[in-house]
Amino acid sequence: MRILLVEDDFDLNETIKEFLENSYDVDVVFDGEEALNKAYEENFDVIILDVKLPKLNGFEVAKEIRKFKSTPIIFLTSLDSEKDVEKGFLSGGDDYIRKPFSLKELKFRIDSIIKRVYGENIVKIGNFEFKLDSLELIKDNQIIHLKPKIAELLKLFIQNKGKVLSKNEIFSYLYSFDEEPNEASLRTFINTIRNILGKEKIQTIKGIGYKFV
Give the separation between CA 212 and CA 67, rounded to whole angstroms.
41
Domain assignment present for 41: yes
Predicted pLDDT at 1: 77
Please indicate, yes or no, whether residues 100 and 170 belong to a single structural domain of this protein.
no
DSSP 132: T
Closest among 157, 74, 160 to 111, alpha carbons compared: 74
Please indicate, yes or no, whether residues 155 and 107 belong to a single structural domain of this protein.
no
Please indicate, yes or no, whether residues 40 and 77 belong to a single structural domain of this protein.
yes
CA gyration radius, the chain: 19
30-67: b (≥16 Cβ within 10 Å) or e: bbbebbbebbeeeebbbbbbbbebeebbbbebbebbee
Domain range for 166? 146-212
Predicted pLDDT at 31: 94
Q: Model confidence over 152-162: pLDDT tens digits? A: 999 999 988 89
Q: Which residues contact 104 (CB under 8 A, 6 or more apart)?
A: none
The stretches in the chain having pLDDT less than 50 are none
> Is 98 strand, coil or helix?
strand
Q: Which residues contact 112 (CB under 8 A, 6 or more apart)?
A: none
CATH number of the domain encompassing residue 202: 1.10.10.10
Predicted pLDDT at 120: 64
